[in-house]
């Protein structure tokens, strides 16, 4: 009698026959048919899933492609035209944060003297984006193309460096403001640290490498009590997250200079003010509230000591930025590999004449011809520092930096711009 093993499996491969009338064979047939059906259904489902995933990948890729706001022949043509120089040995500069306060003024100054300029800005909503768009329009009127994009978009940066051979990068994009860090700390890490690294990666991989000038901040001095603040002072005790990200930026840039031969200059700005300024700055919000008849909050330090700032007019900051670009020296890397040492510098850019906040308010009252309603409040523990005061001897020596605008003159120019931009006539809004 054949064994069960013999009945289920043929003795001669390829000649397996089934007796359909045998009970065991009928049972086997049903199982075999069921298993085969399940096998084919499984194959079908796998194929269907693979097809769907392939299609979804295609759709996602297409969506990413069509959602990108940059690229194309016309876009590249605008880039090259904007980056074209119009003076002998002119610079070709990528300005990040070009639609920002300092970025707009630096871009215009570069273009005015015949340098090529391409702007990059993400137009975030930290403050009213309409002001940034107005600055972009101003830049466009002067032949400066501003790309709408994010610093963390490595593909965009790679494309920019592929289309234009930039001799310099003026890195001014950042998440600004000391107090906002308590509301949205991640935005500071995203822009001031991750964005900086993404940009430096693009710079070190470029061939030739550009020289980099970037905006650090006087905030890195933290609660330093030695005055005036000097570049050689300790900066390892920041008083705010904003200051900490700027200090981190100084360490990161030093690393890229050391490893990749990038020529890097860091500029510690001291309370920049002027036309087209940032609405979150005290002088700007004071002006708005005074004109609207609203009270302003004036902070005081411990023991009712008035806060003081080394207010620096925008034109003086621009001089320091251009001087830094002109004296930066070349990067020494090639395709991401260092071939020799490159310059690494840090400079204070300030006015050297600190003014108390109540004095600032008095000057604004005089120019606006309106008396402010003041609420004097003790400064909260939000990261602000009681005073700033710049030692600019290094910038004087190396950059020829010499501030010329005092606060009285600078605020007069700001107020004139403010009244014109926001449509005021003799201190009253124009309907």
Phi/psi-derived region of residue 119, left when phi > 0, alpha when psi is between -120 and 50, beta in every other case: beta
Query: Is-contact 286 321, C-beta < 8 A?
Result: no
Please name the helix (run of DSSP H) or strand (run of DSSP E) that holds residue 312, with its range, or none. strand 312-313
Count of beta carbons in the 10 Å neighbourhood of residue 376: 11
Q: Of residues 180, 188, 242, 313, which has the active-site annotation?
A: 242
Give the whole-angstrom CA distance, residue 427 versus residue 419: 7
CA distance from start to end of the chain: 110
Give the whole-angstrom CA distance, residue 167 versus residue 210: 5
Q: Which of 32, 115, 120 lies closest to 75 in space, CA to CA?
A: 120
Tell me, yes or no, if 242 is annotated catalytic. Answer: yes
Residues linked to residue 73 through DSSP beta bridges, in sequence order: none
List, in order, residues 6 or more apart from 74 with CB less than 8 Å away.
Answer: none
DSSP class of residue 229 equals B
> Maximum Cα–Cα distance for the chain, whole Å?
119
**What are the b/e assignments for 205-231, b being 16+ CB within 10 Å?**
bbeebbbbbbbbbbbbbbebeeebbeb
Question: 């001669």: which residue's tokens?
Answer: 12
Three-state secondary structure readout of 73-120 = HHHHHHHHHHHCCCCCCCCEEEEECCCCHHHHHHHHHHHHCCCEEEEE
Give the whole-angstrom CA distance, residue 205 versus residue 335: 5
Residues belonging to the active site:
242
């Amino acid at each position: 009698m054949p064994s069960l093993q013999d009945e289920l499996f043929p003795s001669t491969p390829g000649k397996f026959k089934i007796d359909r009338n045998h009970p065991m064979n009928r049972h086997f047939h049903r199982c075999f048919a069921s298993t085969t059906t399940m096998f084919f259904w499984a194959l079908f489902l796998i194929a269907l899933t693979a097809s769907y995933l392939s299609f979804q990948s295609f759709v996602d890729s297409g969506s990413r492609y069509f959602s990108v706001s940059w690229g194309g022949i016309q876009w590249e043509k605008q880039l090259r035209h904007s980056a074209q120089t119009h003076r002998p040995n002119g610079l070709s500069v990528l300005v990040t944060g070009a639609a920002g306060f300092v970025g707009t003024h630096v871009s215009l100054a570069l273009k005015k003297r015949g340098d090529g300029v391409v702007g990059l800005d993400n137009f975030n909503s930290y403050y009213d984006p309409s002001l940034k768009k107005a600055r972009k329009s101003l830049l466009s009127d002067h032949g400066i193309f501003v790309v709408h994009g994010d610093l963390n978009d490595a593909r965009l940066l790679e494309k920019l460096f592929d289309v234009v051979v930039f001799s310099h990068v003026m890195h001014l994009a950042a998440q600004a403001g000391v107090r906002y860090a308590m509301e949205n700390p991640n935005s500071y890490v995203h822009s001031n640290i991750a964005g900086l690294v993404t940009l430096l990666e693009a710079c070190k991989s470029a061939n030739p490498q550009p020289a980099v000038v970037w905006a650090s901040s006087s905030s890195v001095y933290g609660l330093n009590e030695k005055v005036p603040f000097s570049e050689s002072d300790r900066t390892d005790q920041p008083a705010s997250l904003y200051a900490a990200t700027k200090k981190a930026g100084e360490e990161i840039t030093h690393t890229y200079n050391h490893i990749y031969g990038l020529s890097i200059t860091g500029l510690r700005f001291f309370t920049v003010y002027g036309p087209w300024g940032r609405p979150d700055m005290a002088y700007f919000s004071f002006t708005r509230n005074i004109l609207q008849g609203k009270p302003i909050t004036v902070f005081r330090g411990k023991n009712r000591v008035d806060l003081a700032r080394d207010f620096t007019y925008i034109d003086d900051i621009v001089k320091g930025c251009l001087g830094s670009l002109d004296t930066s020296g070349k990067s020494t890397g090639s395709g991401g590999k260092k071939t020799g040492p490159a310059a690494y510098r840090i400079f204070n850019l300030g006015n050297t004449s600190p003014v108390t906040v109540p004095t600032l308010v008095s000057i604004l009252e005089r120019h606006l011809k309106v008396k402010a309603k003041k609420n004097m409040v003790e400064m909260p523990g939000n990261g602000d520092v009681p005073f700033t005061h710049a030692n600019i001897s290094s910038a004087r020596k190396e950059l020829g930096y010499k501030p010329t605008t005092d606060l009285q003159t600078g605020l007069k120019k700001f107020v004139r711009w403010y009244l014109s931009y926001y449509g005021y006539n003799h201190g009253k809004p124009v309907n």
